[in-house]
Amino acid sequence: MFTPAHRRTVKSRLRFVSCCWAAVIWVSSPMLADEKEKDPATLSLEVRVDEIFRGDIPRTVAELRGMEERQTTVVKMAIEATVGIQAGMAHGSGVIISEDGYVLTAAHVVQQAKRQDRKIYLRMHDGKRVLAEPLGLFRTLDAGLVKIIQTSENGSPLKWPFVEMADAKSIKPGQWIVVTGHPGGYKRGRKAVVRIGRITSANKEVIVTDCTLIGGDSGGPIIDMNGQVVGINSRIGRRLSTNMHVPVSTYHDHWLRLSQGDVWGSPPNGRPYIGVRGEVDGEEARVVELVPGQPGEKAGLEVGDVILSFDRRDVDSFTVLQELVSETAPGETVPLRVRRGEKEMLLGIQIGRRP
């Protein structure tokens, strides 16, 4: 299990911003933490606020104010640690979880950059663009890890704002959480957008919340009211109240493989499929059959075409093509170079889901 070396004290800084649970919250200026020694009444109130954010009901005005104070600093911390991710044509979000720049995200946000061995860029909360590289991907649960590699002008490492990962045992249905991300992709001058909601169910494979997600939020964090990451935005549900997130336990349990850059598993939304059949034992990837209505036919492939490259990687047999297709995800569009007779042409194919 990974624990960031540099941790910050959360409870002494916790302050709250608003009681509008479903609203999108914009934070423009931080509030100062109370540095004074807390009396027993204050400590008792903090205990009650903890209980409320775990699913209890507030009963007094003082408790509502305590909730308000708690959320302000949690939101501020979440925004400072949330980044926008630009990985080629893909846009998503992520969250920094260590001072030296490890970033949790969703595997599908950076998988194409990882496959093509390309660097990516992150947008910080102040708009600064920094260089990073994708590391490991656990595609089955949609967990991805990124490392910031930007250095100072003299080459020394930089320190980054971060929020730590929660203990997975602390995650319970009914608890309040903050979700941040960059819906629609990063927009200049706009900080990460915040939503408030609750965890409706949780297990080792998925957390479900009622926080609305849209494209671009993928990879952003869900953060508990102690200011710790409990999950990562993964998939948009069919209903507004059912959105899926990668549990933080996935990153704890598989940290070594993720940090070493391993890629394993299949996408959670189905096996990739292009509807093309060929000779497995052949010396080239010649198309012998196209499944009607499937991606290959829709992309313009014809029987007899020879596929020369897939996603900018050379293809010298149908077996190689199958392996390359298996590394993609349904919905992803990749370039396809083919030979038809004496001509070569470039097509774009959108990966489908195996029926």
CATH code for the domain of 16: 2.40.10.120
Residue 1 has a CB neighbour count (10 Å cut-off) of 12
Do 231 and 298 share a structural domain?
no
Do 105 and 188 share a structural domain?
yes
pTM of the model as a whole:
0.69
Query: Tokens 């100062």 appear where?
Result: 32
Do 142 and 248 share a structural domain?
yes
37 belongs to a structural domain: no
Cα–Cα distance, 4 to 302 (Å, whole number): 53
Query: Tokens 């309040």 appear where?
Result: 176
Write out the residue range of the structural domain in which residue 339 sits: 272-353
pLDDT in tens, the chain (355 residues): 444 443 343 444 433 333 333 333 333 333 333 434 555 555 588 888 888 888 888 888 888 888 888 889 899 999 999 999 998 777 899 999 999 999 999 999 998 889 888 899 999 999 999 999 999 999 999 999 999 998 887 878 889 999 999 998 889 898 999 999 998 878 888 889 999 999 988 988 889 999 888 888 999 999 999 999 999 999 876 666 678 899 999 999 999 999 999 999 877 666 788 999 998 777 899 999 999 999 999 999 999 999 999 988 899 998 889 888 877 777 778 899 999 999 999 999 988 887 7
Boundary residue ending a domain (267, 293, 323): 267
Q: What count of Cα atoms within 13 Å lies in the side-chain half-sphere of residue 143?
A: 28
CATH code for the domain of 317: 2.30.42.10
Q: Please state the length of the chain.
A: 355
Closest CA to 144 of 261, 5, 272, 3: 261
